[in-house]
């Protein structure tokens, strides 16, 4: 069973998607710890409801970013975490943190990266006028939302879309591609060569998700 740690800052709907797919037996992983940098994150309520251990680690309680990150890394290590999942974690992790978990930190971002990295990706997409957007699960490196891509899902952008409607359309796919990626790690099928990530044995070439989902229809 793959041991994962999930880092959150807010609502936690992606955390919930992982919890649900583990409880449904689709993802063979166990959430060893959820760490929130925000004591008010709704994600914490989800942990309580599902008996998942959590800790709040607030940046303001540390003198430096380095100490803050070392604290998070030490909690994850104590719990034996093998894969770190950023699910709406609103902080940029430095190389110091990443070296503790080389190629084992993943993030979900609500755009087709490299388009619209950083905050408010859905708003950026609407303002730019693109006709497709989507979401990406990628390996985290020192760039902001720019690491090697594992999987992407594409959605159309409609003339009447607002930030809310586009976010909702994208979110439905976030909730599938993130648990799916955790399962690929659990199955040890992720191969990384520089910027190129291949999921061994996956089906490539279909829409709207490439490579294709396996644990969801």
- Residues lying near ligand GRF in the complex (CB under 6 A) are found at 10-14, 87-88, 108-110, 174
Please check whether residue 1 is in contact with residue 30, taking contact to mean a CB–CB distance below 8 angstroms. Answer: yes
Please state the closest distance from residue 8 (CB atom) to ligand GRF, in A. Answer: 6
Tell me whether residue 42 or residue 62 sits nearer to ligand GRF (CB atom).
42
Cα 39-28-187 angle, rounded to 5 deg: 115
Instruction: Give residue 194's region: left, alpha or beta (phi > 0; psi -120 to 50).
Output: left
Q: How many CB atoms lie within 10 A of CB 197?
A: 21
Please state the closest distance from residue 171 (CB atom) to ligand GRF, in A. Answer: 6
The question of whether 100 is a catalytic residue gets the answer no
Please state the closest distance from residue 14 (CB atom) to ligand GRF, in A. Answer: 3
Of the candidates 50, 100, 109, 138, the residue annotated as catalytic is 109
Tell me whether residue 12 or residue 211 sits nearer to ligand GRF (CB atom).
12
Tell me whether residue 114 or residue 201 sits nearer to ligand GRF (CB atom).
114
Please check whether residue 169 is in contact with residue 138, taking contact to mean a CB–CB distance below 8 angstroms. Answer: no
* Pairing between β-strand 29-36 and β-strand 54-56 as defined by DSSP bridges: parallel
Residues annotated catalytic, as ranges:
109
């Amino acid at each position: 069973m793959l041991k994962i740690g999930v880092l959150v800052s807010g609502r936690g709907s992606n955390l919930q998607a992982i919890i649900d797919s583990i409880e449904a037996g689709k993802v063979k992983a166990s959430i060893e710890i959820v760490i929130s940098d925000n004591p008010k994150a709704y994600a914490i309520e989800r942990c309580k409801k599902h008996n998942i251990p959590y800790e709040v680690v607030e940046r303001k309680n540390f003198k430096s970013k380095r100490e803050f990150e070392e604290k998070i890394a030490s909690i994850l290590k104590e719990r034996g975490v093998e894969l770190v999942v950023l699910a709406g974690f609103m902080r940029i992790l430095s190389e110091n943190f990443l070296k503790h978990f080389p190629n084992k930190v993943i993030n979900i971002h609500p755009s087709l990266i490299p388009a619209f990295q950083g905050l408010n990706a859905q708003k950026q997409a609407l303002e730019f006028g693109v006709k497709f957007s989507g979401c990406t699960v990628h390996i985290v490196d020192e760039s902001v939302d720019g690491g090697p891509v594992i999987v992407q899902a594409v959605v159309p952008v409609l003339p009447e879309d607002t930030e809310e409607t586009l976010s909702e359309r994208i979110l439905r796919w976030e909730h599938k591609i993130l648990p799916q990626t955790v399962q690929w790690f659990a199955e040890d099928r992720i191969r990384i060569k520089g910027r190129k990530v291949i999921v061994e044995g996956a089906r490539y070439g279909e829409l709207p998700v490439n490579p294709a989902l396996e644990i969801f229809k």
